[in-house]
Amino acid sequence: MLAFTLIGCGDGAGGGKDPTVTSVSVDPATVNVTKGETKAFIATVTGTNDPAQTVTWSVTGGVDGTGFSGATLTVAASETAASLTVTATSTVDTSKSGAATVTVTDSAYNVTYNANTSDSGTVPVDSNSPYQSGGTVTVLDNTGTLAKTDYSFAGWDTAANGSGTSYAAGATFTISADTTLYAKWNFIVTYSLGDTGPGGGKIIYIDPAGFIMADTGLPAHYLEAAPVNQGTELAWASAAYVETDIPGTGADGEIGAEAEIGKGRQNTALILATDAAAPAALACKNYSGGGKTDWFLPSLDELKELYNQRSSLGIADDGFFWSSCQKWSWEGHSESARGLVFITGEVSSNSKINYLSGKIVWALRAF
């Protein structure tokens, strides 16, 4: 009878030896995590016979809302603990675990400065940024000499258009969110009413704060009227378009936003996009006084400013002046357009096809 001894065959990986765990380590071992933010960890299981790397993650010392999803820790925004202990426990040997220490920090917020359409210079950089939530920010001066033609630097604002909170250099505020401070500019008025403008006409309106041009969204500060009219017997529309509604230039019989200062140039473009030969609008568009090509048929409110300054242009108190605003629409038709009667300054209307004597067109431009 023969006898055999089997050596080294075993019954599993590692020559039949069961895996054993000697230690578990966590990376990073120490870390700062801001309230409301997350941090991913990595666990390494070491031992003999290739133990599985799977672990169970847990955290102690936190409030509800602080916890793990997979290997990623979320620290609740409402966390009150100054530090947390993260533990990774081996699934092979639950008596073996590794730990990491998390220092909880308040939210950190950045302060940045924006040149906001400056022509030259550089924005300051806050060397103290980011700040912890509740920290005190001291607003910097215009150390990079930001400059903008026709404007003076007037500090900083939390909104690009100056509608937010304004700060002077040296002012302080308590930070609670990322904050951008935009350079604030004050327009330097260089023309007076009645002065000759860049287009050879007369300045009829000044707004130091600026009004927004509807077609570009950009600010302008002056309205300039052409030195002469562009016609005294011009219709508002071509014959084929006398009943055509021009969307955006007025509707439903009410005077609306189309009449505002800053809308005339857009109205003119809308008219010509539908009726390319519209006499009144086309006469203004084709005018090139002073080498300028941005003349337009004024909106109703812009036309009122022409009326207010008519003496500087030698305009007689007579005639009906077209605006770029329709009067009313019905069933897709709009047969009338608005204007001003310069005898009284009153708003009136005429048929779009009316070109009889006294239907005057006067071009404006904005800059």
The candidate with the shortest Cα–Cα distance to 313, out of 208, 224, 220, is 224
Parallel/antiparallel/unpaired status of strands 97-105 and 83-90: antiparallel
Q: Domain for residue 6, yes or no?
A: no
CATH number at residue 69: 2.60.40.1080
Q: Domain for residue 195, yes or no?
A: no
Chain-wide mean pLDDT for the chain? Answer: 92
- The model's pLDDT over 274-324, given as tens digits with 9 standing for 90+, comes to 999 999 999 999 999 999 999 999 999 999 999 999 999 999 988 999 999
Q: Domain for residue 9, yes or no?
A: no
Same domain, 95 and 113: no
Same domain, 101 and 114: no
CA distance 142 to 151: 14
Same domain, 66 and 116: no
CA distance 84 to 62: 6
Same domain, 217 and 325: yes
Same domain, 278 and 134: no
Q: What average pLDDT does range 151-167 have in this prediction?
A: 95
Same domain, 77 and 159: no
Q: Which residue has the higher pLDDT, 320 or 7?
A: 320
**Number of domains the chain contains:** 3
Same domain, 285 and 171: no
Same domain, 361 and 312: yes
Q: Record the pTM.
A: 0.63
Same domain, 138 and 100: no
118: containing domain: 108-187
Q: Is the pLDDT of residue 137 over 80?
A: yes
Same domain, 151 and 206: no
Which strand (E) or helix (H) includes residue 264?
Answer: helix 264-274
